[in-house]
């Protein structure tokens, strides 16, 4: 990573960064009320990584998060039928595990169809109502992509996606 992606790896030496090479299911199972944020960047929900899309895994993540913690995950692509079913199944399991479970979208040209969904889950934090955009703006961070309007808009989903999700909410 340091050799080929130095821009991404530049903070790996930060004392707050800890990298563990372990099976995620086994690792997270040992945690309780420990994490502020869990990012699940897994492969597709088929084969060897299917375990990262189960109700058991989401329940383990729930237990590992602090009361105001957040879990985000890849939620697949709603455009292709098999992927839409996988997305719906994952969302149903997250909804069953977390009191707050929302889906947001992004355009990622290198992903299938260029359109991708992500899941947001929390015990107490709502991704729109509980964000203090004024505080964020006061930080004066210049970004190339993110801004408060994009944040809000990413949770506004097309009707066909909302229809798929409503079936399991």
> Which phi and psi angles does 23 have, rounded to 5°?
-70, 125
pLDDT at 47: 66
pLDDT at 45: 65
pLDDT at 59: 95
pLDDT at 130: 97
pTM of the predicted model, to two decimals? 0.88
In angstroms, the CA 119 to CA 101 distance is 7
Alpha helices, H only, 45-118: 55-64, 81-97
45, HSE (Cβ side, Cα atoms, 13 Å): 22
Q: Which parts of the chain are beta strand (E)?
A: 35-40, 65-74, 100-107, 115-122
pLDDT by residue, tens only, the chain of 169 residues? 788 888 878 888 889 888 888 888 888 899 999 999 999 887 766 666 677 788 999 999 999 999 999 999 988 889 899 889 988 999 999 999 999 999 999 998 888 889 999 999 999 999 999 999 999 999 999 999 999 999 999 999 999 999 999 999 8
pLDDT at 4: 86
Catalytic positions, please? 41
List the structure tokens of 119: 């899941």
Mapped onto helix, strand or coil, the DSSP state of residue 73 is strand
């Amino acid at each position: 990573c340091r050799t080929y992606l130095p821009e991404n790896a530049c903070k790996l030496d930060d004392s707050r960064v800890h990298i563990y090479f372990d099976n995620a299911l086994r690792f997270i199972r040992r945690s309780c009320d420990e994490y502020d944020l869990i990012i699940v960047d897994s492969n597709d929900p088929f084969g060897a990584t299917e375990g990262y899309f189960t109700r058991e895994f989401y329940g383990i993540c729930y237990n590992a998060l602090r009361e105001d913690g957040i879990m985000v995950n890849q939620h697949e692509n709603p455009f292709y039928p098999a992927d839409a079913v996988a997305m719906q199944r994952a969302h149903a399991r997250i909804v069953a595990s977390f009191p707050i479970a929302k889906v947001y979208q992004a355009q990622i040209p290198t992903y299938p169809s260029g359109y991708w969904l992500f899941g947001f889950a929390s015990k107490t934090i709502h991704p729109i109502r509980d964000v203090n955009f004024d505080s964020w703006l006061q930080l004066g961070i210049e970004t190339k992509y993110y801004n408060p309007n994009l944040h809000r808009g990413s949770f506004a989903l097309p009707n066909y996606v909302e229809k798929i999700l409503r079936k399991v909410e």
